[in-house]
Copies of this chain bind each other. A is one copy, B any other.
Amino acid sequence: MKRENSAPTMKDVAREAGVALGTVSKVVNGLPVGDSYKIRVEDAIRKLNYQVNSYAQGLKASKTYTIALLIPNTFDPFYASLTYHINIALMKRKYRMLLCTTDFDHQQEQEYVTMAQHNKVDGIIGLTYNPELIVEETTPFVAIDRSMGPKIPCVACDNFAGGQLAAEKLSDLGCKNVAFLRIGSSLVNEPNKRKAGFENGCLSRGLSYEMKILNDGDSYEEFEQFLSEHMSDGKLTFDGIFCVTDRLAYQISNTLRKLQLRVPEDVQLIGFDGIRYFGDMDYHCSTIVQPIPEMAEMCVDLLLRENTMMKPPLVCLPVAYAYGGTTLEG
């Protein structure tokens, strides 16, 4: 007698039902089994409150039913929401999620990928910033927001369309002279297309525009200086600003206040991401909303898809504009 308070196993069920081990396995896996046997096994399962041990299952099948999510953190609202929806999508498919927060650290990203390669997870979903990330082709990988080569599917929102939409909205709302402000990784990634989309939108609407692009190391103060330089007579030469993220829009909004400018009366502001106060309340600002639930579903779907041929290199999901108080009219 070794089993004390540990969970019941198939063997226990078999003994309880008076059948062979293999029969229990078949019932559990839905394989054909005689009706009378099936009933007895099912009764025994209920009686013992049996559940399969998916780790033993995984050992046999060389599957872990676990996928790793590589993400910088979970306190940034965008990452937090992505984490939530990916987790839901995985649980729905009986998969577990191993959360790997990388804090933007290139080396940690690589370590997690390597770890994952060693039979510890069945796949990886990664929002990463290491341009030299080595990912062997043996482990399925889906990237978010950054293309990592033709063999690895990338899921993103339609950043180009989002930028364009921002320009069109500002134009519709009466802006004549706008600016695009961006800070972030200098890496080639999908969100960079927001700039191109915005330019495109401005050109097609005949909107005159300026850009200020900062990289990760740069100081935020450069934006303050940029804005100050574009003041004359206490007025800003821009009547509309498109910020690359809602986070930046928040900072810019504070800076504008310091400059005695009113939002949206003096200058209208559009952000990107669709972040809400406390995760589910109002939008922080007027914004281009990323379809996070759909992106999460798509990531999981692509990762778990059997047919490896049907994996498109890039999937862009549609964005939408939402009013959030920093533009005119609701």
Contact = CB atoms under 8 A, between A and B. Distances in A.
Nearest to A292: B75
A249 to B, nearest CB: 10
A75 B64 contact: no
A88 interface: yes
A6 B84 contact: no
Given A6-B62, A81-B75, A99-B97, A120 B278 contact: no
A1 interface: no
Contact of A80 (B75, B98, B117, B119): B75
Contacts of A51: 115, 118-120
A101 B54 CA distance: 20
Interface in A80-130: 80-81, 83-84, 87-88, 91, 96-101, 115, 117-120
Copy number in this complex?
Answer: 2
A232 B83 CA distance: 47
Interface in A268-283: 275, 277-281
Contacts of A74: 74, 80-81, 83-84, 87
Nearest to A5: B138
A169 interface: no
A119 B53 contact: yes
Contact of A7 (B55, B73, B96, B118): B118
Interface residues of A, number: 47
A7 B119 contact: yes
A184 interface: no
B7 A117 contact: yes
A211 interface: no
Given A97-B99, A278-B250, A59 B62 contact: no
Contacts of A119: 6-7, 51, 53
A187 interface: no
Given A51-B118, A55-B58, A250 B281 contact: yes
A110 to B, nearest CB: 13
Contacts of A138: 5-6
A173 interface: no
Nearest to A53: B119
A40 interface: no
Nearest to A248: B278
A76 interface: yes
A101 B99 CA distance: 13
B76 A278 contact: yes
A19 B288 CA distance: 61
Contacts of A281: 247, 250-251
Contacts of A58: 55
Closest 9 CB pairs of A and B: A75-B279, A51-B118, A80-B80, A7-B119, A74-B84, A7-B118, A247-B278, A76-B279, A5-B138
Given A87-B101, A247-B278, 17 more contacts: A6-B119, A7-B119, A51-B118, A55-B58, A73-B84, A74-B83, A75-B77, A75-B81, A75-B84, A77-B80, A77-B279, A80-B80, A80-B279, A91-B101, A96-B98, A99-B99, A246-B278
